[in-house]
Every structure is written in C-alpha cells, then in structure tokens.
Amino acid sequence: MKKILIPILVLALAVGGYLLYRGERTPEHDPGRLTLYGNIDVRLVNLAFEVSGRINAMPIAEGARVEAGQVLAALDARRLELAREIARAQVAAQRSELEKLIAGPRPEEIEKLRADAEAARTEAANAERHAERTKGLADRKMASPQEYDDARTAAEAAQARAGAARAALDLALAGSRAEDIARARANLAALEGDLAEAELNLAYARLVAPATGVVQNRILEPGDMASPERPVYTIAMNEPLWARVYLAEPDLGRVRQGQPAQVFSDSFPGKAYSGWLGYISPSAEFTPKTVQTTELRADLVYQARVYVCNPAGELRQGMPVTVEIDLTRAPLPSPGCPPATDSATSDGAAAEGAAPAAPPAAEPSTSEPGSVSGHAESSGAPDAPDASIRSDRP
C-alpha cells in the first residue's frame, strides 16, 4: 500500500508545484497599466575632423565621459597657422591700399606735383622760345636746318612733359575714382574671406564633443592621418536616454505622448527609473525577428520611445528593460529630467512634470547630424538581440 501512495504523493506535489509556479509567473492584469518590454537605446555619433592632417594628440581614452565642447583630439596645425598668417598679411596690405585711395594724395604730394607741373611748363616755354630763335637763324642761313629740327623736337617733348605733369596734378586734385575704390573694397572683402576660411580651418584642427556622452570607441591614434571621411571617435550620447519598445495596434488608443512611465531593469532589481512616453512611430512594422513568441511574430506594431531619467548612469545601451505606463495619469505638461547631482537618490526619480530640457516628442529616426568644430555622423544603436514586445492588453 505504501508503495502505491508514495508515487501518488510525488505526482501530486509535482503538479501542485507546477501550478504554483505558473501562478507566480502569470502577471495579474491591471487595466490602468500597460506593460511593455524593450531595450535601452542611445545615439552613436562618429566624430571626424573637418580638415585633413596628422593627429598630434588624443588625450581621451575609451570609456571616458566627455562634456559638450570638450577637446577630444588635435591635429598638427603648423601648416594651418602659416596659412592664417599669410592671409592676415594680405588683408593688411589691401586694407592699407584702400585707405590710401579713400584718403587721396597728401598735401605735400599735391604741392610737389604742382611744383613739377610749373617746372615742366617753364621748361616747355623756354624750349619753344629756343625753337623760334633757331628758326629765325635758319631763315638767315645762320643755323642749319638740322639744328632747327632738333630745337623743334625738344620743344615738342617739353610740351608733352608739361601736359603730363599738369594731368598728374589734376588727377591728384580730383581724388580717387569711385570705381577704383569699389574695386579695392571688393579685393579686400575677398581677402577677408580667405582669412576667415584660414581661421576656420585652424579651429577645425581641434575635435570637440558635440554633446555630453561616453567614448565608446577610439578608432584612430596619434600619428595617424585624419580626414573628414575617417572617424576618430565613436561617442555614445546618452542624454537623452530612452527605452525602445513596440506598441501593438490595439494599445495605440490607450496611450498618449507625455504620459508618465516607470522603467525597471534586471540589473538593478526593485529599482524604478522615472520616465515618460515620447516618440511614437507614425507607421506600422512587423514584429522584430528577435521576438521569441511565435504568436506575436506576425503582428503589426509601432515603435515607441520611453524617455528615462538615468542620473546615476546605471542604464546602458542594449539593457533589456520592463516599462510600465500609467494609463490613468494625464500627460506631463513639460516632461524631462532634473539636472543630475552628486546626491542623486537610488531610485533615480525625476520630479514629474518639472524639468528644464525635454527631448523632442516626435522624431522620425534615431539618426541626427552632429556639428561643432568637427564632423559628426550619428546613428541609432542597433537592436539588442533580446528585444520583445509583449503587453498586458486583454
């Protein structure tokens, strides 16, 4: 009898344990709360120099946190500095020429031209009288025709010099022509543009961080040749941080952008991170292939972002998370995260509805261009292999 009862008891205990396990694993449905599953996502920005050159310094290592405007790398800038000095000298010379044209001749220059014109006029008059005397002598056979021809030629040359001197004086008295000043101004503007370009190229010899983030990859090293086509660093821009989740079509009417949410991670059990529902894709897509449940693989879903406050920097790219959206709460008027402080509490909670800078509520993609003294190419982080889209809808 005992041999029969023992297997029955073992079977009963096994069935009871399985049912208890199923009961613990089955979540209770809450119509006022929507549970979604996804992964933490960030923007990845490839930073490159705007100009070509040899890398001189790269003081930032992988894993380091960088702030917006922080210098990450620098090129050997001697060639660029020389180009700037040449451009400066050309601008100074052309500016001096323009100022000279605008001011016109100095008084002493005009006096000199006036004296030269008077001297040339006197010389021409003397040469003319000499030619007349020579002509009279030639008529009386007291001078040869050749002597008269020479005197006449000298008189005509003196008259020409007198005319040129007078023209120079008149030109000085009239001042510079408007078209000459305009041409000088145009030349100066062109040279100033060259100088601005030289200074900009020199500024581009430093690579700076476009925003706060973490160095994920250091691609080149000092001594390498850099160019706009070769990234130097990859920066993970983790502000703002969001969880990439997927909404099933029946759930679209239950949520609104800006509704508060809580985010949970297996890496920090029991810790809730505050957030809010942000971007919802305007177009449907099939469930990602990484979803393991066969009944959901053919569903049409909408990608969404749940922005999350991460003051302690604990959440990282690709982390699987559980998102709970409170459907009973109205959207926050100005969702966002407060500035991080050293005394941030363990729950990393943000004061709901009061934050200085919220990311945009509607962005069509995870890619955005960068730009500041350096070239940035941005892309969204790739899908994590364990992303799923389950919800607790009825």
Q: How far apart are CA 33 and CA 260, in angstroms?
A: 11
Query: Average pLDDT, whole number, for the chain?
Result: 80
Q: Is residue 61's pLDDT more than 70?
A: yes
Q: What is the pLDDT of residue 27?
A: 43
Residue 224's CB is within 10 A of a number of other CB atoms, namely 13
Quick: pLDDT tens for 282-333: 988 876 655 544 555 557 889 999 999 988 888 988 899 999 998 989 998 8
Residue 375's CB is within 10 A of a number of other CB atoms, namely 23
Q: How far apart are CA 226 and CA 54, in angstroms?
A: 6
Q: How far apart are CA 312 and CA 214, in angstroms?
A: 14
Quick: pLDDT tens for 17-48: 655 544 443 444 567 889 999 999 988 999 99
Is the pTM higher than 0.85?
A: no
Confidence of residue 194 (pLDDT cuts 50, 70, 90): very high
CATH number for region 30-50+233-380: 2.40.30.170
Scanning the chain, the segments in alpha helix (DSSP H) are 2-25, 78-103, 107-139, 145-174, 178-203
Give CA 103 to chain center in angstroms.
Answer: 43
DSSP secondary structure, 168-191, as one string: HHHHHHH---HHHHHHHHHHHHHH
- Per domain, the residue ranges of the chain are 30-50+233-380, 82-200
Q: How far apart are CA 219 and CA 242, in angstroms?
A: 26
Closest CA to 336 of 290, 275, 381, 283: 275
Amino acid identity at 13: L
Q: What is the pLDDT of residue 90?
A: 97
- Which has the minimum average pLDDT: 7-21, 101-115, 120-134, 231-245? 7-21
Contact between 388 and 291 (Cβ < 8 Å): yes
